[in-house]
Amino acid sequence: MSTEEAFSGLEPAGLWRLFSALVRIPRPSGQEAAVAEWITHWADSHGFAARRDAVGNLCVSVPAADGVPGSRAVALQAHLDMVCARSEGAASDPASGRIELARDGEWVTAPHSTLGADNGIGIVAAMSLAEMEGLRHGPLELLFTVEEETTSKGADGLDPDLIRADVMLNLDAESSGVLEIGCAGSAWTILRWSAAREPVPDGWQAIDIRLSGLRGGHSGIDIAKGRLNAIKGLVGLLHRLADDTPIRLCRVEGGSAFNAIPIRAQATVACPDDRLSSCLDEIAGYAAHLARRFAGTEPDLSVEQAAAPGSKRTCWADQDGLRLLDLLQVLPSGVLAVDPDLPGQVETSSNVGIVTEVDGVLEVHSLARSSIASAMDEVVASVRSAARLAGAQFHLHHPVTPPWRVAPDSIALRVLQRAYRDLFGHEPRLVTVHGAAESAILAERLPRLDIVSLGPEIQHAHVPGERVNIRSVVEFYRLLCEVVVRLSAAPG
């Protein structure tokens, strides 16, 4: 389906017009220059001033509407980057600006890749609101940050002089009818492990193993949905295999983003020729076990195995390979604790997101999350201890994102709740999300900021098949416009 067909007839028309242009712009984390240039050109065409700070954040200043002098300034914030994931072999490639689109009932979706509704809808909602005629808003500051999906470089390095407002609406929430008033903190750890390699022994056969077809998802929002982490599933298989067979580990890798639940992983092992048949049977048996265990959440789970020539393969020595498997096995992953005061709310979790080899060094990327800072520190300590026992280097990537919670006297929250009730006839749900949010870093960076987060219904963020609900976009945009008008008139 063409971009024009995907958005034909949708309201608000201005928002979807801008989004149809945005999906053609590559914007993976760290490569936001093209989308920042597009927004700057848009700002120039409307006579809005645009400024960038040293780390690449962009702020567009929109003057108050005619007849609304001396009103309160409101900041609208979204992030420029997106997770660029696609199905294997798909023509759709967000990193190149090629996203195949489809309309599926009440949804706009990218069937074979990420769509970029996270946080593209927030970007274009702010832009569309700014160019809307007749909306009685005060001064607006449209803040677009960089590298939210990876390093949080934009929020962490924000120049405080870029924002003068004391109230901010973060547009990165992903649930309709919900106002986000808090989030978990997060800590990204990287382990680096290496050991000497040697040729596969004579009389041994190499086997390629691939676990794929998993649903994956956001490592915070989807962590409690019972989905299999491809890396942990494959490591479990390899560990079981090593218990019964003298194998050598040649390769293990998986995952594409530290903050996404991995959807595929692969490994190569070698075993004696006379044990090849039993090895293949063991792999098939464990694959059947995984299929049964995750039948309800991973219906498309697939484990492929194939004997491969081993004459040119290298492997790690017996004990080194086992030590690596032990490291990957004991790393915490999944839900680690639930909030005793909020039934169904995850308090602490960890995700093993990437295993990859870089210049002969194996890197393991994990992301810990918790709404309690000390609990997050304990997960990081566990990862550090596992690294020490395995002889791996430990690195804590900065910044560590703190937990965040809206102040009880928040003007933004009070106005949002009243506007929502007036528009839709019922109260919004107030939630704290089990995912790191830029709001936490921005609130720490600018303590005066009163921040609340809102957004439309977005599903399957960070994985192929990401989609956004059309009706929820209408409601989100209607609420956003109403709140901006009310906040502009609210006393300082």
Query: How many helices and strands (H and E) does the chain possess?
Result: 12, 26
pLDDT for the residue numbered 489: 86
- Considering the chain, what is the average pLDDT of its residues? 94
- Choice among 26-35, 71-80, 95-104, 483-492 with the minimum mean pLDDT: 483-492
Which residue of the set 32, 81, 156, 222 is catalytic? 81
Strand partners, 303: 211
Nearest residue to 201 (alpha-carbon basis) of 310, 321, 69? 310
In the annotation, is 198 catalytic? no
The CB density around residue 289, as the number of other CB atoms within 10 Å, is 13
pLDDT for the residue numbered 311: 60
pLDDT tens for each residue of 434-463: 877 899 999 999 999 999 999 999 999 888
The CB density around residue 3, as the number of other CB atoms within 10 Å, is 15
In the structure, what pLDDT confidence band is assigned to residue 405 with cuts at 50, 70 and 90? confident
Angle at 168 (CA atoms; ends 164, 171), nearest 5 degrees: 135
For the residues 151-157, what does the mean pLDDT come to? Answer: 93
Residue 134 CA to residue 486 CA, distance in Å, equals 14
Angle at 488 (CA atoms; ends 483, 492), nearest 5 degrees: 115
For the residues 138-160, what does the mean pLDDT come to? Answer: 95
Strand partners, 188: 367, 397
Residue 291 CA to residue 235 CA, distance in Å, equals 15
Residue 188 CA to residue 183 CA, distance in Å, equals 16
Per-residue burial over 102-123, b if 16 or more Cβ lie within 10 Å, else e, is bbeeebbbbbbbbbbbbbbbbb
- 441, 184 Cβ separation under 8 angstroms: no
Q: In the structure encoding, which two tokens stand for residue 301, read together?
A: 């789970």
Q: In the structure encoding, which two tokens stand for residue 407, read together?
A: 């102040």
In the annotation, is 161 catalytic? no
pLDDT at 256 over 70: yes
Looking at residue 141, the DSSP 8-state letter turns out to be E
Residue 103 CA to residue 3 CA, distance in Å, equals 10
In the structure, what pLDDT confidence band is assigned to residue 300 with cuts at 50, 70 and 90? very high
Residue 353 CA to residue 187 CA, distance in Å, equals 13
**pTM exceeds cut of 0.75:** no
Residue 273 CA to residue 271 CA, distance in Å, equals 6
- The 3-state DSSP composition of the chain as helix, strand, coil percent (nearest 5) reads 35, 30, 35
Single-letter amino acid code for the residue at 125: A
Report H helices in 224-344: 230-244, 276-293, 318-330
Which residue of the set 32, 100, 148, 347 is catalytic? 148
pLDDT at 269 over 80: yes
pLDDT at 342 over 90: no
Give residue for tokens 């992953």: 333
- 41, 157 Cβ separation under 8 angstroms: no
Q: Which domains does the chain have, with CATH numbers?
A: 3-184+403-489 (3.40.630.10), 187-401 (3.30.70.360)
Strand 140-145 to strand 334-338: parallel, antiparallel, or no bridges (unpaired)?
unpaired
pLDDT for the residue numbered 5: 85
Single-letter amino acid code for the residue at 453: S
For the residues 92-118, what does the mean pLDDT come to? Answer: 96
Angle at 189 (CA atoms; ends 57, 462), nearest 5 degrees: 60
Longest dimension (CA), the chain: 86
pLDDT for the residue numbered 309: 73
Is the backbone of residue 312 left (phi > 0), alpha (psi -120 to 50) or beta? alpha
pLDDT for the residue numbered 343: 73
In angstroms, the Cα distances linking 56 to 43, 76, 114, 194, 268 are 16, 17, 24, 35, 41
- Choice among 293-297, 373-377, 469-473 with the minimum mean pLDDT: 373-377
Burial (CB count <10 Å: 0-12, 13-18, 19+), residue 90: middle
Residue 180 CA to residue 178 CA, distance in Å, equals 6
